[in-house]
Chain A
Amino acid sequence: MDVKYINPFLEGTVSVLKTMAMTEPIAGKPYLKKDNQAKGDVSGIIGFTGSARGSLAISFSKAAILRIVANMVGENYSDINGDVRDAVGEITNMISGVARKNLEAQGMNIQAAIPTIISGENHAILHVLGGPSIIIPFNTNAGPFYVDICLNMQK
């Protein structure tokens, strides 16, 4: 996958978390992932159609997401409950929105589905295209999270 298609997702991730959760995530080195195993404790996954087919997943460690949601909502959470899962969906949706807007500037028109949330130890992330996917690891003050992208450009 061309890096110019990855960057909008990186920018979207940083922009959403910085703006909505006062969190400055630091991106690590991307790598290829060949299995379905989620890297975090709760994940949001969203499918794309149009100029690109595939899916984006964001997988958060428990520590990272609890801090992020606390910053967004102004309330503390001790576990991954319904509110936290909702927030994961909303964050996934927002990152997808920013990325698609940036890709629109490159002449691409991508539609997104409604995000799905999966949580629990060792849960799987099933990409629409089956994989492999590119993982961009991020770190925050509270813990890590992972952006997991599997896209096929149609043009």
Chain B
Amino acid sequence: MDLQIKILVVDDFATMRKVIRNLLKQVGYENIVEAEDGVTALRTLKSQKIDLIISDWNMPNMTGLELLKAVRADEEIKTTPFLMVTAEALQDNVITAVKAGVSNYIVKPFTAEVLNEKIKKIIEKLG
């Protein structure tokens, strides 16, 4: 498992970005960049190689789902693994995200171990 992968954490709440960064560090991931919204995330994705996106669903301006769709529609970055984070475990949302091409889905609250499991599964799928 490559702990050096570069992870982009997208959340409009600075505190939640810190929480996710803290959880990632607990399981050994240190190469983390942050974006406060979908627009900034897209700019970051265009300017540097990102190995995994971890994005909140509910964000103003551009939701996590809209960001996911924008990523999947962009030739340059469309294969970037995308882990959606949300407080919504409602079935319709899961289906919508899967249809839009999400790599995996994590429902808040979650532990560092659960987050790590989700990341491992995504990376394993990539081979």
Contact = CB atoms under 8 A, between A and B. Distances in A.
Interface of A: 15-16, 19-20, 69, 72-75, 82-84, 86-87, 89-90, 93-94, 96-98, 100-101, 104, 114
B107 A97 contact: yes
A74 B26 CA distance: 10
Given A72-B22, A73-B22, A86 B107 contact: no
Nearest to A111: B90
Interface stretch (B13-21, B42-50, B61-69, B70-78): B13-21
B15 A101 contact: no
B90 A100 contact: yes
B111 interface: yes
Q: Chain B contact residues (Cβ within 8 angstroms of A): what range?
A: 20 to 34
B108 A83 contact: no
Nearest to A92: B87
B95 to A, nearest CB: 14
Contact of A20 (B14, B86, B108): B108
Contact of B87 (A82, A87, A96): A96
Interface string B11-34: 001111011001001000000000
Interface of B: 13-16, 18-19, 22, 25, 58, 86-91, 107-111
A90 to B, nearest CB: 5
Contact of B18 (A73, A100, A114): A73
Contacts of B86: 97
Contacts of A84: 15
Given A72-B22, A73-B22, A74-B22, A98 B109 contact: yes
Overall SS of chain A's interface: helix
Contacts of A83: 14-15, 18
Q: Which of B14, B15, B91 has the most CB of A within 10 A?
A: B15
Given A89-B13, A90-B13, A20 B19 contact: yes
B15 A69 contact: yes
B109 A15 contact: yes
Q: Which of B13, B19, B88 has the most CB of A within 10 A?
A: B19
A86 B16 contact: yes
Contacts of A104: 90-91
A97 B110 contact: no
Given A100-B90, A101-B90, A94 B108 contact: yes
A86 B89 CA distance: 21
- Give me the 3 closest cross-chain CB pairs, A-B, nearest first: A97-B87, A19-B109, A86-B15
Given A93-B87, A101-B90, 14 more contacts: A19-B111, A20-B19, A20-B108, A20-B109, A73-B22, A75-B18, A83-B15, A83-B18, A84-B15, A90-B13, A97-B108, A100-B90, A101-B107, A104-B90
